[in-house]
Amino acid sequence: MDKNLSLRQNQMEESPTVISIFGGTGDLAQTKLFSALLDLFAHGALPNKFKVIGISRKNLSDQEYQTFVADSLKSKGCDYRGEIVKKFCDHFSYLAGNFDDEVTFHCLGESLKEFDRSTGQCTNKLFYLAVPPNLYRSIFRYLDESKLMKLCDGVTSWSRILVEKPFGRDLATAEALEKDLCSRFLEEQIYRIDHYLAKDAIENIIALRFANTVLADSWHGEQIESIKIRLFETKDVSSRGSFYDGVGALRDVGQNHVLQILALLTMDPLDIEKVDSLRQARAAVLRSLTAPTKVIRGQYVGYQETKGVEPNSNTETYFKIETKLDTDRWRNVPITLEAGKALAQNINDVVVTFKDRKNSAAATTGSNNFSRQSNILTIQFSPEQRITLTVSVKKPGFSFALESRELELMHSPALDVYSPEAYERVLYDCIVGDQTRFVSGQEVMAAWRFITPLLEETVTPLVKYEPGSAGVDTLIDN
């Protein structure tokens, strides 16, 4: 999107870079980051000279950490040849330490300077916080106090910090975190992650909406009846119990992924070449969310027996929210946001139902003898990328009657086209300095302002559902 991107890409290849991963032996590193880095490496999309430093509490040597990375990749079904994996792992080193101990940061500084010496220049520094949110504050503090973010001059080399979601636990904690972060570092150094913004399938919403006249002209409340967003997962919380129990579905995917999909779907037309205008347009939508008319929180039966989960936990593993946007474009259009774990289906999609223009076909044909269905646009992001539009057509035969048929587009990349996964995009964009697919502080706060009141158990009591349920509202409505 950024016009200077290809220039930056060339610069990126020539600029040695160190990626320090706080939480280097954790779940995120193992499930997403190692494989994303390997993919980038195999496609020549990392700087020619780079180093990854894993930081964690475990006692490991560099050699043991390289074996740990290789084993993680293997267990995730890595299909690259052994020699590529070996070359890749050679770039890794390890630092054992605590994130609330300044000695760790001093040692990290020494490793960073060592890499600078070996390359003969001041190298770029990327700090990835792949740790639980309760550790962010101390990492911000020590990165700042140990001056690690200032080792680069910001002109010939840079320092950037990648912060995972959830960003805070509610509005108050997010505001405090943001204040702390912004008082220590510059906005251009801060990359707040929502990996959904880095998914090709989700970015496709922008192309569909704005590059197709037929949709662009009817994309407003006068033509659209309702919008539904679903993020349904069949998998349960499994081994993430201790992380998930303090978070829950509203914070885990509601405050971020689901609301960001809504923002892309409903933001006003804008200059998508401009990073700031895109971030501002998304923030404006999130600010216009109105208090929900209905909220359901659910928990699947058996969740409380998960390792790391409190026996009487009230954490929700499912939510459904009905709300509206208070803007000229969308006022009065019902919006449903729904997400959950251990459900019957694995599906992430958006369903946009257009208004039924009741009299148009009758007026044209002089007949009322047909049943008609609204046009429904379904944009499915996963498990496959698929776009369908239901249209009414004439039923073959003597009489004039309508039937509903589907136009379908399977939108999967060709096998020989490199289509980076979300975490590849996150890392790549951060290295080339493109903040478009990262959230601004304003977006984070607007999302929390909407979600925070729903976290109150007294406001939204918990409903139990059986694993494999289709959804929870059916249990309540019946």
Residues in touch with ligand BG6 (CB under 6 A):
233, 252-253, 348, 382, 422
What's the closest the beta carbon of residue 76 comes to ligand BG6, in angstroms? 13
Q: Is 336 exposed, middle or buried (0-12, 13-18, 19+ CB in 10 A)?
A: middle
Does the active-site annotation cover 257?
yes
Q: Distance (Å, rounded) from C-alpha 9 to C-alpha 14?
A: 9
What's the closest the beta carbon of residue 259 comes to ligand BG6, in angstroms? 13
The smaller minimum CB distance to ligand BG6, of residues 253 and 337, is found at 253
What's the closest the beta carbon of residue 366 comes to ligand BG6, in angstroms? 50
What's the closest the beta carbon of residue 208 comes to ligand BG6, in angstroms? 19
Whether cis (ω within 30° of 0) applies to the bond prior to 166 is: yes
275-287 and 441-451 helices cross at what angle (nearest 10)? 10
What's the closest the beta carbon of residue 297 comes to ligand BG6, in angstroms? 16
The smaller minimum CB distance to ligand BG6, of residues 56 and 348, is found at 348
Q: Which has the closest alpha carbon to 127: 182, 53, 65?
A: 53
Give me the residue label for tokens 């990392």.
46
Question: Whose CB is nearest to ligand BG6?
Answer: 252
The smaller minimum CB distance to ligand BG6, of residues 236 and 473, is found at 236
The smaller minimum CB distance to ligand BG6, of residues 255 and 469, is found at 255
What's the closest the beta carbon of residue 80 comes to ligand BG6, in angstroms? 21
Under the phi-then-psi rule, with left for phi > 0, alpha for psi from -120 to 50, and beta for the rest, what region is 44?
Answer: left
The smaller minimum CB distance to ligand BG6, of residues 144 and 233, is found at 233
What's the closest the beta carbon of residue 285 comes to ligand BG6, in angstroms? 20
What's the closest the beta carbon of residue 18 comes to ligand BG6, in angstroms? 26
Q: What are the residues facing 125 on neighbouring strands?
A: 18, 159
Contact 231, 339 (CB under 8 A): yes
The smaller minimum CB distance to ligand BG6, of residues 252 and 429, is found at 252
Q: Show the CA angle centred on residue 118, arms to residues 106 and 128, nearest 5°.
A: 50
Q: Which has the closest alpha carbon to 446: 299, 281, 312?
A: 281
Q: Show the CA angle centred on residue 145, arms to residues 144 and 149, nearest 5°.
A: 35
Report the chain's terminal Cα–Cα distance, integer Å.
48
As a dihedral over the C-alpha atoms of residue 316, residue 320, residue 323, residue 325, rounded to 10 degrees, the angle is 80
What is the chain's length? 478
What's the closest the beta carbon of residue 453 comes to ligand BG6, in angstroms? 22
The smaller minimum CB distance to ligand BG6, of residues 260 and 348, is found at 348
Q: Which has the closest alpha carbon to 407: 214, 210, 204?
A: 214
DSSP 73: H
Q: What are the residues facing 129 on neighbouring strands?
A: 22, 163
Q: Distance (Å, rounded) from C-alpha 113 to C-alpha 143?
A: 15
**Hey, how many other C-beta atoms are within 10 angstroms of the C-beta on 104?**
20
The smaller minimum CB distance to ligand BG6, of residues 18 and 163, is found at 163
Reduce the secondary structure of 345-367 to three states and give it as a string: CCEEEEEEEECCCCCHHHHHHCC
Q: Which has the closest alpha carbon to 285: 348, 330, 221, 349?
A: 330
Q: What are phi and psi of 208, to 5 degrees?
A: -60, -45
Pairing assessment for the beta strands 462-465 and 294-300 based on DSSP bridges: parallel
Catalytic residue among 91, 106, 195, 257: 257
The smaller minimum CB distance to ligand BG6, of residues 284 and 321, is found at 321
Catalytic residue positions, numbered: 257
